[in-house]
A and B are shown apart, each in its own frame.
Chain A
């Protein structure tokens, strides 16, 4: 099996937040922690608004894993990046390293004491026994060991959010793009690093002060 991956089809996402709700409900995520969020780009620009659902992307070369001072991260056979809350010290380095804002920190008490890091587990639980109470309380449901896919992807009404074996998910997305004749450009380097809406348009000259 290839690595497990998410992909969000910006042509289909209708910003309904069902993925966020599904994640919260399935894993009983505490108030203030958002393992998944829906982000809208070009907000307010008519015809240019696109929404994508973002969570941990389970990077193949994960920066969180590289910077963790206590080495609490590990990767499963399916390429899912998980962490051990018994080792995590809640320092927050991973949150600075992550380009997606995936690591979340529950805050408790009057002084905003920062708890241990929490993030999307691809519904694959944690190091505790699969499907155990301890695993659920710390990391949420282990749907992967139940033979299911992450709740967010399975609940997506327009199937904008796809999750599963990276090769299969890429095939589904490619199939869609071929059928509708567009869409590959909304996900990739152009989106990440900013394509100009009109390729012929030139940026305004810098003002000399």
Chain B
């Protein structure tokens, strides 16, 4: 009896030490639409199809590289 009580007290104490996982794999969506689904406004850029994750990722990588002068001006 005492042992069971100690075990449950220990479990309760350990439960209080828990922390919610923040790893990317456990990302909570909270009903948010994924970015690659596109936006419902007239400002969406060309060069990718809304809903196609691969195309969106490629487009974003290309756009990010526009910040790199060594690529933009084509010189090294």
Q: List chain A positions with a Cβ less than 8 A from chain B.
A: 1, 3, 60-62, 65-66, 71, 74-79, 82, 84, 124, 126-127, 129-132, 141-142, 144-149, 153-154, 159, 162-165, 168-169, 171-172, 175-176, 179
Contact = CB atoms under 8 A, between A and B. Distances in A.
Q: Is the interface of A mostly helix, strand, loop or mixed?
A: loop
A17 B68 CA distance: 20
Interface residues of B, number: 36
B38 A130 contact: yes
30 contacts: A60-B22, A77-B34, A79-B27, A84-B30, A124-B35, A130-B39, A130-B40, A131-B39, A131-B41, A132-B40, A141-B43, A142-B35, A144-B60, A145-B35, A145-B38, A146-B41, A146-B44, A147-B44, A147-B59, A147-B60, A149-B63, A149-B64, A149-B67, A159-B67, A162-B67, A164-B63, A165-B64, A168-B65, A169-B64, A179-B70
Contacts of A129: 33, 40
